[in-house]
Structure 1
Amino acid sequence: MTRTATTPDLAEFPVRQRGAYFEKFETGQVFTHHWGRTITTADNVLFSTALAHWSPMYLNAEYARAHGHKDAPLNPFLVLCTVVGLTVEDLSESGGPFLGIETCVFEQQIYPGDTVRTESIVLDSRPSASRPGYGIVTWKTTAYDQHDRVVLHFVRKNLLATKELR
């Protein structure tokens, strides 16, 4: 390719290492994730229908009101996915394999227009017994609404490369 005045020189755009490596995490360390997310009706409808999760509780306000809700609550799986997404930049953006979620507890329903924010604490950080150069980090993440009420909490694990392998 011939370089012109309008062709960018890709060497001027260094690759930036993002995310974390195993040694970054110490048991007890707390991460207050830097931004929250207001979840809208549109988010809820798109998520629920894209996944063919047709429960009228999350898509029919009259049905939800008939079952004691003030409106159709947000699909809890949307809330969980949003909360996990809010933690990725600080905890697992380096692309280490996601090993799962444990003990996920939904404390209360939230509704369109509510905003969630998250905090995570490192519960455990240990070298992998089967993958040299990697470690397993376990976090407990708690999500709060705009009134600082706990919405949900869960424990999750990721396999992360050591600093040496990054």
Structure 2
Amino acid sequence: MMSWKTWRLGAAALAAAGVAACGGSSDSGSASSTRPTAAGYYIQISGMRFNPLDLKVPAGATVTVINDDSMAHSVTSEATPGAYTPGEVSGIAFDTGAFNGVHTFSIPASAAQGTVIPYYCSTHLGGMATPNGSITIDPAAQPAPPPARPGTGGGGGGGGGGGGGY
């Protein structure tokens, strides 16, 4: 029979191994479940669609991806639009990995003006309603408010119906 002390040491070792397994990833960003409130550079994923399809950002910007779908998505750079193969353009590459919630990544400060980096969802490939988007390096790009959650853009009225016609 296992002693209480041996059981506790084993449980502690398993917990430590679990924490270690959760460390580091190969993407260059961070994930969160907290929805941002400040102006920034946003890509929204909702209804299997990227919005906007072409995000303009200055070099050195942080891009925040908000996944409003219930399933995991990614934003993965590719060298050729529609190839659905991870790649880079002018040394710029990013891959959020599949995630739910909010994820950020940075565009290098050395990114050249006019560079266009296509991206896709590596989880769904061409299965997205808008399968490809792009990020364009534009020094005049301005931050925008975060996108509204789906279904919170106002109800539009229901109409009052017609009169009796008498």
* TM-score range relative to shorter protein: under 0.3
TM-score (normalizing by structure 2): 0.25
Which structure features the higher share of helix residues?
A: 1
Which structure features the higher share of strand residues?
A: 1
Q: Which has the greater radius of gyration?
A: 2
TM-score (normalizing by structure 1): 0.25
